Amino acid sequence: MKQLNPSIKHHLIVGILISLWIFIFAFIIKPFDDGTLNFRSWFLISFGFSLLAFLCYATLTVLQKKIYEKMAKWNIGLEVVSIVFFYLIYFIGVYAYYKSPILKGGYRLTEFFSIIFIKVALILTPVVILARRYLIKLIPVKDDILIIRGENRLDDLKIKKTELVCISNAQNYVEIFYTENGKLHSKIIRSSLKKIQKDFNFLLQVHRSHLINPLHFKSWKNQNTVALTQIDLPVSKNYKESLLLL
**3-state class of 148 per DSSP?**
strand
Its pTM stands at 0.60
pLDDT at 32: 59
Question: Does the 148-244 domain belong in CATH 3.40.50.300?
Answer: no
Q: Cα dist. 112→83, 105, 154 in Å? A: 20, 9, 68
| Range with the poorest average pLDDT among 78-87, 120-129, 237-246 | 237-246
Range 52-64 average pLDDT: 96
Q: Reply yes or no on whether the pLDDT at 1 is more than 70.
A: no
- The structural domains of the chain, with segments of one domain joined by +, span 8-136, 148-244
Dist CA 165 CA 217 (whole Å):
9
Contacts of 76 (CB under 8 A, 6+ apart): 1, 2
pLDDT at 187: 95
Most confident range (mean pLDDT) of 27-41, 51-65, 100-114 is 51-65
Residue 210 pLDDT class (50, 70, 90 cuts): very high
pLDDT at 33: 59
Which residue from 46, 44, 40, 41 is spatially nearest to 27, judged by alpha carbons?
Answer: 46
The distance of Cα 35 from the centroid of its chain, to the nearest Å, equals 45
Q: Reply yes or no on whether the pLDDT at 105 is more than 90.
A: no
Q: Cα dist. 233→122, 170, 227 in Å? A: 54, 14, 7
Residue 95 pLDDT class (50, 70, 90 cuts): very high
pLDDT at 14: 95
pLDDT at 31: 61
